[in-house]
Amino acid sequence: MSTGSHSDIAAQFGARIRAATAAGTPLRLRGGGTKDWYGQALQGEVFDTSAYAGIVAYEPTELVITARCGTPLAEIEALLAQHHQMLAFEPPRHGAASTIGGVVASALSGPRRASAGAVRDFVLGAVLMDGHGEALRFGGQVMKNVAGYDVSRLLAGSLGTLGLILEVSLKVLPVPVCEASLRFEMSEIDALRRLNEWAGQPLPISASCWRQGVLSLRLSGAEAAVVAAQRKLGGVPLADAAAFWASLRDQTHGYFDGGSLWRLSVPPAASAIILGGEQLIDWGGAQRWLKADTVDAEQAAAIRRTVAAAGGHATLFRGADKDVGVFHPLAPAVARINQRLKQAFDPAGIFNPGRMYG
Amino acid sequence: MNTATPERAVLADIAARRAQVAAALQQVLPERAILSAPEDTRPYECDGLAAYRQLPMIVVLPDSEAQIVAVLKVCRELNVPIVPRGAGTGLSGGAMPIADGVVLSTARLNRIVRMDAYSRSAVVQPGVRNLAISEAAAQHGLYYAPDPSSQIACTIGGNVAENSGGVHCLKYGLTVHNVLRVRMVTIDGDVVELGGEALDAPGLDLLSVFIGSEGMLGIVTEVTVKLVPKPATARVIMASFDEVVAGCHAVAALIAAGIIPAGLEMMDRTSSRMVEPFVQAGYDTEAAAILLCEADGTIEEVEEEIARMTAVLNTAGASAIAVSQTEAERLKFWSGRKNAFPAAGRISPDYYCMDGTIPRKRLGQVLEGIAQMETKYGLRCANVFHAGDGNLHPLILFNANIPDEFERAEAFGAEILALCVEVGGTITGEHGVGIEKINSMCVQFAPAELEAFFSVKRAFDPAGLLNPDKAIPTLNRCAEFGKMRVSGGMLPFSHLPRF
């Protein structure tokens, strides 16, 4: 790609997209390529967005950052850290090349999600390049904005299937003044019960993780609140807490090694979900990871039935055999609306075809 | 003369149409759920934006999801537009009826279906009032966070339609951040679940786009809301500033210090002088601006935060600072801000409330622009401001009985909104576009973006029958509006470069 101003790059993107729409050429949108393994199998010509990079605006006192899609997540986080701010949804860093466009398109959130919110909760605005190569601006750079449908939040988790997310504006938050982490030995059933009870009390819990009889808890907030909560909750201090929460966030923790991995998204109050394979529970009970050695259609159907009965849905997060379907099947009326939206923004079906649903 | 005027012809057509549609609705609804006589439908002719009125052809009051499905099928079959309505407290005319349309009121679906303290959620029907949810949750130490000023009357269905906020939304979020699931019926009669009781749902995030869609994508029949623990205590600081811009810098300094107040509101002198005689909140009526800054949480946490906030506000040049010492005093400090609108109604026969949001750093420029417009339009304006999130509510004071004052107020308002867009903001922070700001949408969005909104609408409502002609202007309308502006003499902000 030739170097040039950002508007030149955007113009080149537009020309390529228009040509692809005219010819029906599938495009595989790619930022840092750190999440190529996520979603259904990839198809189409690689469309590298990394050249369209750079922070467009950052106003710490407005709590908003705007960046082009190819901006490395690491660059954004480093700048925010200088101002004691953060992306509160703690996007997993699946690799150094991870870009903000990919963060929004995949909408994966980290341990703070249950208390702070998900990627979509922090999206304030976006510029989307649709199948006509037209740059469309939705939302904005302000906290409150109800002009027009909230298309920018719709892009969070769209996996690039609606178009190329050129630019995003995200709400940022101050880094908590004080953090402390605790460790408790308890069974899965007790941990789920305590997490739900605690969540109903004014406690500054910002992350939780249960695995193999150990519940780890992170507290964040004003020093007085953290100290008071520690006194109330008991437990023992968690060793190497920062490294532990980072390993959970980035999935570098040993639990995530090898095999296939299911992500079970369930109501936090759902009781223990009985399925073969080791589980790790975070988000206060709302996200349960399940390891599986192999995945076949019958097992996948059984997992999906069990999780749906608990009020949730199951994603084959990482796994060799994607023929069983990565994402949970949609209800027919919901699927119809999904398809019509795809058709509206990408009439020729060129953007990441089949990455979400076939 | 016997010849019918064109208006009469339209009326005769509507009478015939009313009879036809009412007969079809009678097949699926009990008699008491259908209103068609003008004396019965009159109360539905407007919402909170009373300047815009239209008598509906028919009003239906279903009391179950099955009845809503049936109504939609009838309307789809007969091609009748539908205007959904909650409590009718909206401020942008989103529930203004259509002459040949049906108003669908969700008022009779007013049951709290389930209150679940353990999972911190409540399942409610759309006609449940916002405050009623918090009242029912209070026994569990929980509440529903979004608190629009109309929360005593407004319903959750309307909150979903408007993505309502409130004075605490900087810290606790808008409706979109506090609703887990919406069950709704499409124009085709499909019952669709968006979101769920898990924290996310498969597929595109349809819940996000549905919330704030102003009743144009589907009719809500049930909502699951998130409940959060009630903070143990709250205290508020009242700080005075000699200049409005200094107050704004103080807000920036609070945020820079890493503080997210539970509430952060500013009022200019016109506003504090307007409310003080009305509620005796103890406001400093000499100050150019008053800032209300609230901390909530545990007693220790609030004490720590109030101390940090006070230090920042002092450094930022506050000329006076008072901290509420009791709950009664806290409520007294808030009473002035919460009564700004009624106070405006007390000193002026009419007022027109605007709702732009701007990047906070542009406040000085916007207030200066508004001051110039006061002279230009010969009308006064009081400014109250959700300072934390940049949402400005200029209250334009006017008297509708004086010829042309309403038109001047409208033009004044539209110019404020255009200025909000110019500085990088938006024409509506929380009241919605409705019918009121539909022309201003042409200022904020380009034709291709408006076309994208229409395609989103078609994805949910291919027939285009749900609240048509609201929120999203057609390109023709924008063209006419543009022409109108030019023929009015001058483009707004002709001194600014256009590109």
Q: What is chain A's pLDDT, residue by residue, as a tens digit (358 residues)? A: 445 699 999 999 999 999 999 999 999 999 999 999 999 999 999 999 999 999 999 999 999 999 999 999 999 999 999 999 999 999 999 999 999 999 999 999 999 999 999 999 999 999 999 999 999 999 999 999 999 999 999 999 999 999 999 999 999 999 999 999 999 999 999 999 999 999 999 999 999 999 999 999 999 999 999 999 999 999 999 999 999 999 999 999 999 998 899 999 999 999 999 998 999 999 999 999 999 988 899 999 999 999 999 999 999 999 878 899 999 999 999 999 999 999 999 999 999 999 999 7
CA–CA separation, A283 vs A112, rounded Å?
A: 7
CA B306 → CA A265, B230, B233, B389, distances in Å? 38, 18, 12, 20
So what's the pLDDT on residue B159?
Answer: 98
Cross-chain Cβ contact B391/A143 below 8 Å? yes
User: Position of tokens 């967005």?
Assistant: A49
From the list A143, A175, A338, the residue facing B204 with the nearest CB is A338
Any chain B CB within 8 A of the CB of A254? no
Q: Give A131's DSSP letter.
A: T
So what's the pLDDT on residue B483?
Answer: 45
pLDDT (tens digit per residue) in B121-162: 999 999 999 999 999 999 999 999 999 988 999 999 999 999
Cross-chain Cβ contact B360/A341 below 8 Å? no
Q: Looking at the complex, report in whole angstroms how far the Cα of residue B137 sits from the nearest Cα belonging to chain A.
A: 11
| CA diameter of chain B | 81
Chain A residues 15-44 with CB within 8 Å of chain B: none
Any chain B CB within 8 A of the CB of A3? no
Q: What is the residue-averaged pLDDT of chain B? A: 92
Using an 8 Å CB-CB cutoff, list chain A residues near B259: 174
pLDDT (tens digit per residue) in B82-134: 999 999 999 999 999 999 999 999 999 999 999 999 999 999 999 999 999 99
Three-state DSSP at B375 gives helix
At residue B256, what is the residue type?
A
Nearest to A327 by CA among A41, A35, A30, A95: A41
Any chain B CB within 8 A of the CB of A201? yes
> What average pLDDT score do residues B293-317 get?
95
Chain A residues 232-251 with CB within 8 Å of chain B: none
From the list B170, B206, B459, the residue facing A344 with the nearest CB is B459
Cross-chain Cβ contact B202/A150 below 8 Å? no
Nearest to B166 by CA among A123, A144, A64: A144
Residue of B nearest to A202 (CA): B229
Residue of A nearest to B250 (CA): A61
Cross-chain Cβ contact A334/B200 below 8 Å? no
Q: Looking at the complex, report in whole angstroms how far the Cα of residue B400 sits from the nearest Cα belonging to chain A.
A: 27
Which sign, positive or negative, has the C-alpha torsion B265, B269, B273, B276?
A: positive
Any chain B CB within 8 A of the CB of A231? no
Tokens describing residue B251: 């807000």
So what's the pLDDT on residue B487?
Answer: 29
Tokens describing residue B391: 């949402």
So what's the pLDDT on residue B5?
Answer: 52
Using an 8 Å CB-CB cutoff, list chain B residues near A118: 199-200
CA–CA separation, A227 vs A221, rounded Å?
A: 10
Question: What whole-number percentage of chain A has pLDDT above 90?
Answer: 94
> What average pLDDT score do residues B420-424 get?
94
pLDDT (tens digit per residue) in A254-267: 999 988 999 999 99
Cross-chain Cβ contact B119/A157 below 8 Å? no
Cross-chain Cβ contact B426/A140 below 8 Å? yes
Question: What whole-number percentage of chain B has pLDDT above 70?
Answer: 94
Nearest to B336 by CA among B292, B288, B293, B394: B292
Please work out, in degrees rounded to the nearest 5, the angle formed at the alpha carbon of residue B103 by the alpha carbons of B99 and B109: 175
Q: Using the predicted structure, report yes or no on whether residue B488 has a pLDDT greater than 80.
A: no
Using an 8 Å CB-CB cutoff, list chain A residues near B203: 327, 330, 334-335, 338, 356-357
DSSP run (H or E) holding B74: helix B65-78
Cross-chain Cβ contact A337/B459 below 8 Å? yes
Cross-chain Cβ contact B198/A335 below 8 Å? no
User: Position of tokens 């004075």?
Assistant: B167
From the list A130, A140, A225, the residue facing B297 with the nearest CB is A225
Using an 8 Å CB-CB cutoff, list chain A residues near B389: 142-144
From the list A153, A267, A331, the residue facing B205 with the nearest CB is A153
So what's the pLDDT on residue A2?
Answer: 44
CA B58 → CA A4, A307, B43, B194, distances in Å? 60, 45, 12, 29
So what's the pLDDT on residue A255?
Answer: 97
Using an 8 Å CB-CB cutoff, list chain B residues near A149: 209, 212-213, 217, 453, 456-457, 472
pTM of the predicted structure, to 2 decimals? 0.95
In this prediction, residue B9 has a pLDDT band, given cuts at 50, 70 and 90, of: low
In this prediction, residue B368 has a pLDDT band, given cuts at 50, 70 and 90, of: very high
User: Position of tokens 């806290």?
Assistant: B330
Q: Answer yes or no: are the C-beta atoms of B168 and B263 closer than 8 Å.
A: yes
Nearest to A195 by CA among A264, A270, A251: A270
Determine whether B171 is exposed, middle or buried from the number of CB atoms within 10 Å of its CB (0-12, 13-18, 19+).
middle
Between A209 and B483, the higher pLDDT residue = A209
From the list A64, A142, A228, the residue facing B426 with the nearest CB is A142
Using an 8 Å CB-CB cutoff, list chain A residues near B230: 202
Orientation of helix B327-338 relative to helix B269-279, angle to 10°? 120
Using an 8 Å CB-CB cutoff, list chain B residues near A151: 209, 452-453, 456
At residue B206, what is the residue type?
L
Cross-chain Cβ contact B359/A62 below 8 Å? yes
Pairing between β-strand A27-30 and β-strand A45-48 as defined by DSSP bridges: parallel
Q: Using the predicted structure, report yes or no on whether residue B472 has a pLDDT greater than 80.
A: yes
Q: Give B68's DSSP letter.
A: H
Nearest to B205 by CA among A283, A122, A127: A122
Cross-chain Cβ contact A313/B213 below 8 Å? no
Pairing between β-strand B391-398 and β-strand B380-386 as defined by DSSP bridges: antiparallel
Q: Answer yes or no: are the C-beta atoms of B98 and B465 closer than 8 Å.
A: no
Instruction: Report the number of secondary-structure helices (H) and strands (E) in chain B.
Output: 18, 19
User: Position of tokens 């953290």?
Assistant: A226
In this prediction, residue B392 has a pLDDT band, given cuts at 50, 70 and 90, of: very high
pLDDT (tens digit per residue) in B241-289: 999 999 999 999 999 999 999 999 999 999 999 999 989 999 999 999 9
Phi/psi of residue B367, nearest 5 degrees: -65, -35
Cross-chain Cβ contact B441/A147 below 8 Å? yes
Q: Answer yes or no: are the C-beta atoms of A151 and A334 closer than 8 Å.
A: no
Any chain B CB within 8 A of the CB of A338? yes
Q: Looking at the complex, report in whole angstroms how far the Cα of residue A23 sits from the nearest Cα belonging to chain B.
A: 22
Q: Using the predicted structure, report yes or no on whether residue B489 has a pLDDT greater than 70.
A: no
Q: Looking at the complex, report in whole angstroms how far the Cα of residue A192 sits from the nearest Cα belonging to chain B.
A: 11
At residue B393, what is the residue type?
H
Using an 8 Å CB-CB cutoff, list chain A residues near B455: 341, 344-345
Q: What is the residue-averaged pLDDT of chain A? A: 96
